[in-house]
Amino acid sequence: MSGFEADNNGVSISVAAGNKTVADFEVSKKPKRNKFAFACSILASLASILLGYDIGVMSGAIIYIKDDLKISDVQVEILVGILNLYCLIGAYAAGRTSDWIGRRYTIVVAAAIFFVGALLMGFATNYAFLMVGRFVAGIGVGFALLIAPVYTAEVSPASSRGFLNSFPEVFINIGLLLGYVSNYAFSKLRADLGWRVMLGAGAIPSVFLAIGVLAMPESPRWLIMQGRLGEAKTVLDKTSDTKEEARGRLSDIKAAAGIPEDCTDDIVQVQKQTHGEGVWKELFLHPTPVVRHVLICAIGIHFFQQAIGLDSVVLYSPRIFEKAGITSSDHKLLATIAIGLSKTIFILVATFLLDKIGRRPLLLISSGGMVVILATLGFSLTIIGHSDNKITWAVGLCITMVLSSVAVFSIGMGPIAWVYSTEIFPLRLRAQGASIGVAVNRVTSGVISMSFISLYEAITIGGAFFLYAGVALVAFFFFFTFLPETQGKTLEEMEWLFGKLVGWREEAQKLKRKRKMNEANHQIQLGNNLTTDRRC
């Protein structure tokens, strides 16, 4: 007879199970990805195309807008970057709207607002009219930026949450690529018509988004917060890997919502906070150590995602290529398509690595890589700027670094900022916490994109990227010091990891030991059950 042995607190236990060990009875394969959760995440993340398209299309359209409307560089900076600040209004409104009408219909609102904004920009006759369109579109983008990652986090099972919650960033990059392609496709039109078609075409994705939402269920966490347990249980059964996981998720969310564990009614009364009373006080005025740590991590990761200046590369890539010696408009637009392809390919790679490698390793690799790439880009642009002749190797190095920057960013800092910040907030604080992350992200992006031209005119374009490299170095040390690994943890398990800014590693080890002990006890129980069955 062969036996099974497990070590539980130093005690060796042997279990006879015929000629088979417990391992022979275990399922070795990982559960397949939940197709229903996958489809829901895809549909919700379509909202992120709106931001990506706007960023991509504006980088090329601004070339023609500047010539057609005869605007200055300062007006160019404002036009390009102001959408990020307008996003704040949308993100703030979306936090309340999503708690009021639900995550699903908030996505419809986002699509409708952006649709109107895109049409206004497309029919703009002057700079002021164009700014009105940017304002409306910015509100729609703010709605989309908040709600897509929140919804995805709340329908995703723990085993694939990183994979699924990276989808919003994937679709931002797909939208970016579509914007670049739109630039090139419509650049052949008459100058005063081409940029209007480029911007107006952004209304098309919002129509498909609004239609696609009809096939989505509501977030189970929002349903439970409304007391609709029966509907929530149905959604959890469909979006979980196993029935046991669905029951566990239901139990965790009920506890977070203050609903008794033994309550099995389909409809229950839940005390609602329609205006988020108490939430802002808990976040800022009287935060617990856990909430304070979570807030610092969420704000920090969103700030550094934008402060390293990647938006300057994406939005002003035609100017960077021009500084590198590429003067043809067609060649500059083709080069921007290469940027879009690079970002899209590597963000797809990242989606498969998030739940295998983890958030922390990818984040550190990405931020460390950005330090080297941005410094090298600054060096190559400085060499080109100080030379009267075209230096081929410096031009090649510059183009390589531009493409490398978007690739390395997309494999870590790009998707992880959204994944991480949505999964670490407790349920009661999630909508408002996510809106804070979006606000920090968009304000920082707005400052970066509205100051780039002025910055490089003040300290040279090479100096601007040296500055960004310095910020990326600070980001690396921030991530290394303060951010715990959240891979494979349930949303309700996060409180184990947060609470000690620099002492979280000890808590992570305790959680790891607890999990191993539970697994060992499970193995022993399984072995005992097999022995009992064998004897029977």
State the sign of the Cα–Cα–Cα–Cα dihedral 62, 68, 69, 75: positive
Q: Is 39 exposed, middle or buried (0-12, 13-18, 19+ CB in 10 A)?
A: middle
Domains and CATH numbers, the chain: 33-268 (1.20.1250.20), 281-501 (1.20.1250.20)
Residue with tokens 């329908």: 155
Tokens of 535: 């004897």
Among 344, 456, 307, 319, residue whose Cα is nearest residue 398: 319
Q: Mean pLDDT in each 10-residue stretch from start to end of the chain (536 residues)?
A: 39 39 42 78 85 86 90 90 87 84 91 93 93 93 85 83 77 88 89 90 88 87 89 91 87 81 80 63 85 92 94 84 77 84 86 83 95 95 84 88 92 87 80 81 89 91 95 96 81 72 70 67 65 59
Element (H, E) at 3: strand 3-8
Residues 332/318, Cβ–Cβ less than 8 Å:
yes
User: Residue 347 and residue 406: Cα distance in Å, rounded?
Assistant: 9
How many other C-beta atoms lie within 10 A of the C-beta of residue 217?
A: 17
pLDDT at 254: 85
| pLDDT at site 527 | 66
Q: What is the C-alpha radius of gyration for the chain, rounded to an integer number of angstroms?
A: 25
Say what the pLDDT of residue 476 is: 97
pLDDT of the residue at 528? 66
Amino acid 261: pLDDT: 80
Whole-number Cα distances in Å, 511 to 197, 386, 399, 506, 514: 55, 56, 45, 9, 5
